[in-house]
Chain A
Amino acid sequence: MPELYPVKIHVNGTTYERRVEPRMHLADFLRHEIDLTGTHIGCEHGVCGACTVLVDGASVRSCLMLAVQTDGRSVDTVEGVAAADGTLNPVQAALSKHHGLQCGFCTPGIIMTITEMRKESGGRQWTEDEVRAALSGNLCRCTGYQGMVDAALEVLTPLNLGRD
Chain B
Amino acid sequence: MKPVPFDYHVPTSVADAVELLRTLPNARALAGGQSLIPMMNLRAAAPSHLIDLGKIPDLCGVHETASNLRIGAMTTQRSLERSAVVRRHCPLLGEAVDHVGHQQTRNRGTIGGSLCHLDPGAELPVAAAALEMTFTVTGPGGSRTMSFDEFPAGYLTTTLEPDEILTHIDVRKTLPHEGYAFLEFNQRPADFAIVSVAVLLTLDGEQVSQVRVVLGGIDYAPIRLLEAEATLTGNRLDDKAFEAAAAIAAAHPCEGDEVSPPEFRQHLAGVLVRRALRKALERTKVSVNA
A binds B: yes
Contacts A23-B5, A58-B78; A63 near B41 (Cβ below 8 A): yes
Contact A45 B105, CB 8 Å, known A2-B7, A22-B7: no
Q: 0/1 per residue, A34-73, Cβ < 8 Å to B?
A: 0000000000111001001000001111011110110000
- A5 to B1 CA separation, bound complex (whole angstroms): 15
Residues of B contacting A3 with CB < 8 Å?
7
CB of B37 closer than 8 Å to a CB of A: yes
Chain B residues at the A interface, C-beta cutoff of 8 Å: 1-8, 33-34, 37-38, 40-42, 50, 52, 54, 78, 101-105, 107-108, 188-190
Per the bound structure, the CA–CA distance linking A58 and B104 in Å amounts to 8
List 22 interface pairs A-B (beta carbons < 8 Å), by A numbering.
Answer: A2-B5, A21-B5, A23-B2, A23-B3, A23-B4, A23-B6, A24-B1, A25-B37, A28-B1, A45-B38, A45-B41, A46-B34, A60-B104, A60-B108, A61-B104, A63-B37, A63-B41, A69-B54, A133-B190, A137-B102, A137-B105, A137-B190
- 6 closest Cβ contacts across the A-B interface? A137-B102, A22-B8, A45-B38, A58-B107, A23-B3, A59-B104
Chain A residues within 8 Å of B41, by CB:
25, 44-46, 63-64
Closest Cβ of chain B to A68, distance in Å, is 5
- Cβ-neighbour of A1 out of B5, B8, B34, B38 (below 8 A): B5
What is the chain B residue whose CB lies nearest that of A137?
B102
A137 to B37, CA, bound (A): 17
- Do A49 and B7 contact each other (CB < 8 Å), given the known contacts A44-B2, A65-B37? no
Interface residues on A, range: 20 to 34
CA distance A68 to B52 in the complex (A): 10
- Write out the residue numbers on chain A whose beta carbons fall within 8 Å of the beta carbon of B108: 60-61, 64-65
Q: List chain B residues, Cβ under 8 A from A138.
A: 104
- The CA of A45 and the CA of B50, in the complex, are separated in Å by 18
Residues of B within 8 A of A24 (CB): 1
**Which residues of A sit under 8 angstroms from B50, Cβ to Cβ?**
22
